[in-house]
Chains A and B, each alone.
Chain A
């Protein structure tokens, strides 16, 4: 794999729903090893961008390049195998599985064990140690045997990050990891993201601007499906258009 400067690039990606372009002609260049934030008012197309980048949605136009390789034609599961993993805006855990099992599912990815319908579950207890390490990393050791349904919202988000980390992704896409969290949960999650960013490239959608300024090296501002501007936090936060866009449509609730 050629170590290109950018871990992830998008060239003119767009997606149409009927006559409506949710994302239009978006270019992105995510520098290897950086934390790159994507911000913009609700409905700007941030989640749709994530869905396109991970191939959850088929792009109507454009190209996606991961580590120099065109992944535009791959399916979601293959994108994950290529080292790009994501979390979801609406918390995505396996509600009736325990925290340990949640993480173990991800550890089974690409492990032949997943097909063994005749083996007792004991046969994958060898994955438990790694799963426990991951839970510890996100501060969920005590929740090991609780089902995800029993966890608080903040802990569910942490569990989702642990599950994503289990894939050991080079590139991680986090869709509003602090959305809906109380203040007490935001600080630990921010610290966690900073911790796991070592040796990784992270693209994060985030509404909380203090988190954005805290974490990100560069910021892309999206508005009405298009890139409004890209720059550092200082550049972006002082830009007239960004201020106008935010004043025009900001709604931190969702």
Chain B
């Protein structure tokens, strides 16, 4: 059953660019990674980072700057930018991680605003105008992937890689400790661990992944803007994750897909996109506590249980 679903998903992902505008698909994929990075913290450690966009946006500018000024191969630029975001994540984690709940959220929010301000003021980012003309250099320095359909497959491969990383972390010995921290942090401490250290590493990994998404996004669009660092994007990723299903691997992917498609459809109506998001958020909170994927899973389990009787 699961394998069948994966195969169908793979077939759809491979065929999609022949039916749908590749840039839209690639946007979805970038946000799939971004939402997965956020879910790693909220869903598996219980940390609500209300500034996840700082990792996305910073990395987009860093990757852009590297590509524009050095011309090194694309995968190296993306990796380097993701590492910068990971370092920022480690630093923010170091400061914020002793706090929990709303305090943690506010500290991360403050950091994100600060990063926004720095990027707005910096020369290299182009301030309000953003950074334009980010080139798609060759993969491994030799393979030309600049054509948008080819590039889609590159982004798809990167997404699979990123999701595999999340899967690996969540289902690792370290991941088991993270889930324990989420469920009962004082208990983990009383068992001889120092939860704050685990949380810092989780933030580092999460920020690295968010940065990976941001760098990829910059190469998709060929530009980076302040929108990627803005608090609305930090909020949007929360919505994606909750809508799809917190603490499930596929939930954030589904949530990212729905929100991006919806934004795309509603773009022509301006502010309506925001209003629709607000309404969705309310509906999810009221009726879909576990998100689309979580509720679907619960439904399947209920049906199985009924059949077993």
Question: Could you tell me if A92 and B186 are in contact, using CB atoms closer than 8 angstroms?
Answer: yes
Task: Take A85-B191, A86-B190 as given contacts and tell me if A96 and B173 are in contact as well, using a CB distance cutoff of 8 Å.
Answer: no
Q: Which residues of A contact B171 (CB under 8 A)?
A: 120-121
Is B48's CB within 8 Å of the partner chain A? no
Count of chain A residues with a beta carbon within 8 Å of a chain B beta carbon? 38
Question: Could you tell me if B172 and A120 are in contact, using CB atoms closer than 8 angstroms?
Answer: yes
* Interface residues as binary, B174-206 with A (CB distance below 8 Å gives 1, 0 otherwise): 111101101110111111111000100100010
Question: Could you tell me if A97 and B180 are in contact, using CB atoms closer than 8 angstroms?
Answer: yes
Question: Could you tell me if A117 and B174 are in contact, using CB atoms closer than 8 angstroms?
Answer: yes
Question: Could you tell me if A114 and B169 are in contact, using CB atoms closer than 8 angstroms?
Answer: no
Q: Which residues of B contact A110 (CB under 8 A)?
A: 192
Which chain B residue shows the least CB distance to A75?
B194
Question: Could you tell me if B183 and A117 are in contact, using CB atoms closer than 8 angstroms?
Answer: no
Question: Could you tell me if A117 and B175 are in contact, using CB atoms closer than 8 angstroms?
Answer: yes
Task: Report the separation of the CA atoms of residues A116 and B184 in the bound assembly, to the nearest whole angstrom.
Answer: 21
Task: Take A77-B189, A85-B191, A109-B193 as given contacts and tell me if A124 and B180 are in contact as well, using a CB distance cutoff of 8 Å.
Answer: no
Which chain B residue shows the least CB distance to A54?
B190
Q: Which residues of A contact B302 (CB under 8 A)?
A: none
Of the candidates B176, B190, B193, B201, the one whose C-beta lies within 8 Å of that of A121 is B176
Which chain A residue shows the least CB distance to B195?
A77
Which chain A residue shows the least CB distance to B181?
A94
Q: Which residues of A contact B169 (CB under 8 A)?
A: 117-118
Question: Could you tell me if A108 and B187 are in contact, using CB atoms closer than 8 angstroms?
Answer: no
Task: Take A56-B186, A80-B192 as given contacts and tell me if A96 and B179 are in contact as well, using a CB distance cutoff of 8 Å.
Answer: yes
Question: Could you tell me if B174 and A94 are in contact, using CB atoms closer than 8 angstroms?
Answer: no
Which chain A residue shows the least CB distance to B247?
A96
Distance in Å: Cβ of A176 to nearest Cβ of chain B: 16
Binding site for B on A (CB under 8 A): 54, 56, 75-78, 80-81, 85-86, 88, 92-97, 101-102, 104-106, 108-110, 113-121, 123-124, 163, 167
Task: Take A88-B187, A94-B179, A95-B183 as given contacts and tell me if A77 and B174 are in contact as well, using a CB distance cutoff of 8 Å.
Answer: no
Q: Which residues of A contact B194 (CB under 8 A)?
A: 75, 77
Question: Could you tell me if B176 and A85 are in contact, using CB atoms closer than 8 angstroms?
Answer: no
Pick the 9 closest A-B CB pairs, nearest first. Answer: A80-B192, A117-B174, A94-B183, A109-B192, A92-B187, A113-B173, A94-B180, A105-B180, A81-B192
Is B99's CB within 8 Å of the partner chain A? no
Distance in Å: Cβ of A57 to nearest Cβ of chain B: 11
Question: Could you tell me if A114 and B187 are in contact, using CB atoms closer than 8 angstroms?
Answer: no
Q: Which residues of A contact B177 (CB under 8 A)?
A: 105, 108, 114
Task: Report the separation of the CA atoms of residues A254 and B183 in the bound assembly, to the nearest whole angstrom.
Answer: 23
Is B168's CB within 8 Å of the partner chain A? yes
